[in-house]
Chains A and B, each alone.
Chain A
């Protein structure tokens, strides 16, 4: 501590530069993390928010819910087999007629409103209280100017619905979800997409059972998008750890004579190494702090429509990973310190 802090203070510029690199890289990591999470949210939050532990579809759909088709007979059969409270869902894309604007693409989730679980309501009615012509919509429609009790006109069916409530975390492929009563669907040979239930996983013969996460990953393009972001993050981490390790390693090599002197006057290797580790930790935490402030600053000026989700937990986790990598990288320097020779101090000019 004694050496670490005094050296930081004396060689401000040098350490400021490496800290600046860390800030830049962390900022990029945060940005990519936020974007990845935001895109994932816009893409699939409705599936993650489904009120079910498991989702049963037909075999051919491979977990892609919108591709699955179940006849009423099949729905009944599944409901019987899973031996739990199970309710069917119909998902279909459509669009809403808008005045002086392009149509708004949306996705209907048609469910039995009496049977379906409680939604995260931020305004208006809960799903159990819906009348047939009422709907609950995702809050992202507020950005399009919709308010409670507004009327929506479906472009295809020309039916009109009243917004009775707003929910959150319900988008699919960037489209807001509209929860609607399945009484609006054409009976009696209604095709459903899936049957939802909570409880233990049951493998139903001739059908396929998935967890929510599995249906999210099965979404077309989802794994590829998230995979690319993960790869970028991993590389940024490696670059950052590399830069800081090399920086401290070079400094350590430059100072090996000085470390020899310190050892000659009685410093333990650990005493010197501790100083380096403290410096790495201080710079990393400082870089992390500045990067965090920066990302929150940027977040506050990003438009609302930009998919960007960055919970503090994730920032914290990023910081922990980053710090660990840097500490591991600085072991290279620690090793060099251990090898520094006290004999260098004697009988030799600097």
Chain B
């Protein structure tokens, strides 16, 4: 069975205007990711990792090049279409969990269904199943303030999986955790990606995580190079 391409990035460049000069943050980046792959992007601070992830995540538009998600070119979409792409095709995990403070753990997940206007019966069951998988069942009715950092990040993973998107994007999901809890969180992402046959990109600073990933990229001064494992 041929592998299915989830994400295709073609010749992406991005430059920002900074006063009179322009700085080129991303330079001609090309790569693609198949179903079931968990990819790590490493690199020094300021090398453009978050910028690349924002472009892939339909939050920023590139200066040049194209992004294809499941064979649709999103580069020329308007902001309304981009919002829809984020809602339906991408699951985000942020550096800090970024949970909504006044929602219970389960409501954090149900919110995703509510936003999609789908009041599907299945969403209750699905949220419970996700919480079960991530070992959060007993915290179903807790508020974020009563969770530990690792638990919060696990809720964020569950939230990113809730819309059944095929592409998961994570920007330093372990930055605010100690290495043991961090590793635990990355293991969970890896596990979900393999079991559910998704594609995932994780930006990280932590070299100890790369054994959990299928492929590793290094970002250096706006260019991306793959490191054969």
Residue numbers of A with Cβ under 8 A of B are 2-3, 6-7, 9-11, 258, 261-268, 271, 342-343, 345-350
Contacts and interface: CB of A to CB of B under 8 A. Distances in A.
Interface in B184-207: none
A346 B100 contact: no
Contacts, number: 87
A118 to B, nearest CB: 60
B103 interface: yes
Interface string B84-110: 101110101011101011110001001
Given A2-B110, A10-B143, A343-B54, 11 more contacts: A2-B107, A6-B102, A261-B98, A266-B86, A346-B59, A347-B50, A347-B53, A347-B54, A347-B172, A349-B175, A350-B98
Contact of A347 (B95, B100, B114): B95
Contacts of A267: 83, 87, 115
Contact of A346 (B94, B107, B112, B143): B94
B35 to A, nearest CB: 21
B163 interface: yes
B102 A263 contact: no
Please classify how large the interface on chain B is, using the bins under 10, 10 to 19, 20 to 34, 35 or more.
35 or more
B57 A346 contact: yes
Interface centre among A7, A11, A267 (most CB of B within 10 A): A267
A347 B171 contact: yes
B112 to A, nearest CB: 7
Interface in B144-159: 159
A10 B87 CA distance: 26
Interface centre among A10, A11, A342, A350 (most CB of B within 10 A): A342
A6 B103 contact: yes
Interface centre among B54, B95, B98, B115 (most CB of A within 10 A): B98
Contact of A349 (B84, B110, B111, B176): B176
Contacts of A261: 94, 98, 100
Contact of A265 (B51, B103, B112): B112
Contacts of B212: none
Contacts of B128: none
B60 interface: yes
B49 to A, nearest CB: 8
